[in-house]
Amino acid sequence: MRKVGVEVVGMGALKLTGFLRDLMRQKNINFESLYTVRLLKENLCYVALDYESKLSKDTQASFEVEAEGCFNLSEERFQTGEILFQPRIAGVRAMGLQQAVALCMDHCQAAELTGDDGWYKKGFGWRELVYQDLQAGLGPFMGKHNMARNHVMLDPPFQSSSVGTAYRPGQVQA
């Protein structure tokens, strides 16, 4: 039996790392191992608030990997995280994160599980990007629950500073 309000997106850290690896190979950026790509993903990649506008900007940044040298990445930095929201960019036939959240919310409403609608006001790590995409896809539903555009979203509590992810909720870059 399927749990109400649960959707599987199928886009995890390995998919993101693999996509960055493919982007680097397309640009003839040489690296020794997948570990190097993972380090670059964790230290240089981010989710752009406005993906389309980032495509026309200079976003180059460098990171030095011990024993391999310095790597320069540009649009790969935000293209990697964008596959969470637009999986088709990576050739993956799946729904984006914002679509999965919208579907979960719809299932919860259909099952009449939305009695306490205060959960989304607390944030749970969702930043402006997810909210913006949800607003576009669920405008009437979100409006019905008085979700204002200026909600403050909270970051998840990371246990240590060594935890790195491609989607850093606290690192929104416009």
Residue at 154 is within a domain: no
Residue at 61 is within a domain: yes
3-state secondary structure of 160: coil
Q: Are residues 85 and 133 in the same domain?
A: no
27 and 76 in contact (C-beta within 8 Å)? yes
Q: Are residues 17 and 82 in the same domain?
A: yes
The pLDDT score that the predictor gives to residue 104 is 81
- Find tokens 């913006």 and name the residue: 132
Q: Are residues 129 and 81 in the same domain?
A: no
The pLDDT score that the predictor gives to residue 129 is 59
The pLDDT score that the predictor gives to residue 98 is 85
- Domain containing 126: what range? 97-144
Q: Are residues 102 and 65 in the same domain?
A: no
Q: Are residues 70 and 26 in the same domain?
A: yes
Q: Are residues 109 and 140 in the same domain?
A: yes
Q: Are residues 17 and 73 in the same domain?
A: yes
Q: Are residues 18 and 79 in the same domain?
A: yes
pTM of the full predicted structure? 0.65
Among 90, 111, 126, residue at a domain's last position: 90
pLDDT-based confidence at residue 116 (cuts at 50, 70, 90): low
Per the document, the length of the chain is: 174
pLDDT-based confidence at residue 80 (cuts at 50, 70, 90): very high
Q: Are residues 106 and 77 in the same domain?
A: no
Domain count, the chain: 2
Assess whether pLDDT exceeds 80 at residue 97: yes
Among residues 25, 7, 8, 5, the alpha carbon closest in space to that of 17 is found at 25
Domain of residue 69, CATH code: 3.90.640.10
> Greater confidence, 113 or 63?
63
Residue at 32 is within a domain: yes
Residue at 134 is within a domain: yes
H/E stretch holding 139 reads: helix 128-144
Q: Are residues 103 and 86 in the same domain?
A: no
Q: What is the mean pLDDT of residues 54-66?
A: 93
The pLDDT score that the predictor gives to residue 101 is 83
What confidence tens digit (pLDDT) does each residue in 35-54 have?
Answer: 999 999 999 999 888 889 99
